[in-house]
Amino acid sequence: MKILDWTKQYFADKGIENPHFDAAILLCAVLKCDRITLYVDFARPLSDEELSAFRKLVVRRVQHEPVAYILGEKGFMKHSFKVTPDVLVPRPETELLAESIIKDAEGAVRILDIGTGSGAIIISLLAALPDASGVGTDISENALAVAEENAACIGVSERLKFLCSNIYTNLSADEKFDIIVSNPPYIPSGDMKNLASDVRMEPVQALDGGDDGLDFYCAIIKGAKNYLIKGGLLAFEIGVDQAGAVTAMCEEEGFKTVVRRDYAGLDRMVFAAEEGGRYGNMLPEIAK
């Protein structure tokens, strides 16, 4: 298709990372078809309306607006999540974090997701674990509104509560969880200006982890024992080169730790639990 080739080239010239894929996805959105149909069946020229709608999306993309914001949705695990510029676009590496937990959790587990954003992690966990229930917290009311919508669409609202909270501040002191999971903001403040233009369109509040990027791990780990049952699990996504510092903080608080890599071979997750408890015994399995 000429329009596809033209757009691919235009995106490439403008420094868009996946020019062909993005051009195809945006064209599919306008034509309301899937990618196979686009390649196999789509021979007719675009109507004026379709062309004008497509042009608008192309203009947004060359301004480096993430495709997920343009489409208003992003696939994560088994579901499509609504996303807006108030939430981080859920990442494929975060799916690994959710998968690790699903693999080893069973029964009526209670899960706390700190910095829930679109709700991608906690909603996917509850969707996969039918007896689990949980709480998703975020400091952003706007993010929580998106997460609530996603929970309702995916059908887990009855087992999931959302709470606007600065880490633990608004959780009641007697709440206890089997698992605390978090993909907190972890980019060192000084690196924020070097982020790719697409990432810079995402909320600063979702990315900036303070001077060394470790502020949130420090606060979450220090308070974790107040909210975890004995033998409960702490599960984190981490940034590049943070495994050493995050495991050290966990060990200082009396947790055993394991690190799991992502598909690119980078240390990407830290799991921590007290020795001897259910998850303490399972740590080596979780990291596989």
Q: Which residues contribute to the site for ligand GLN (CB under 6 A)?
A: 91, 183-187, 199, 207
Helix, strand or coil for residue 214? coil
CB of 93 to ligand GLN, least distance (A): 7
The reply on whether position 247 binds ligand SAM by CB under 6 A is no
Looking at the DSSP bridge assignments, the partners of residue 81 are: 74
CA distance 277 to 220: 20
For ligand SAM, the closer of residues 108 and 204 by Cβ is: 204
For ligand SAM, the closer of residues 19 and 209 by Cβ is: 209
The reply on whether position 179 binds ligand SAM by CB under 6 A is no
Strands (E), the chain: 73-76, 79-82, 110-114, 133-138, 160-164, 177-182, 228-237, 256-261, 267-273
Residue 116 contact, options ligand GLN, ligand SAM, none, Cβ 5-8 Å cut-off depending on partner type? ligand SAM
**Which residue in 199, 122, 215 sits closest to 166, CA to CA?**
215
CB of 201 to ligand GLN, least distance (A): 11
For ligand SAM, the closer of residues 7 and 183 by Cβ is: 183
CA distance 224 to 184: 14
- Asked if residue 59 lies in contact with residue 10, where contact means CB atoms within 8 angstroms, the answer is no
Amino acid at 181: V
Binding segment (CB under 6 A) for ligand SAM, from list 27-35, 41-49, 136-144, 172-180? 136-144
- Asked if residue 74 lies in contact with residue 81, where contact means CB atoms within 8 angstroms, the answer is yes
Place of tokens 């690196």: 191
The only residue of 66, 185, 213, 239 in contact with ligand SAM, by rule CB under 6 A: 185
Residue 188 contact, options ligand SAM, ligand GLN, none, Cβ 5-8 Å cut-off depending on partner type? none
For ligand GLN, the closer of residues 119 and 184 by Cβ is: 184
**Which residue in 121, 130, 25 sits closest to 72, CA to CA?**
25
For ligand SAM, the closer of residues 19 and 136 by Cβ is: 136
The only residue of 7, 183, 242, 257 in contact with ligand SAM, by rule CB under 6 A: 183
For ligand GLN, the closer of residues 135 and 207 by Cβ is: 207
Q: Taking the mean position of all CA atoms in its chain, how far away is CA 250?
A: 22
Chain positions contacting ligand SAM, by CB under 6 A:
87-88, 90, 94, 114-118, 120-121, 137-140, 143, 166-167, 183-185, 205-206
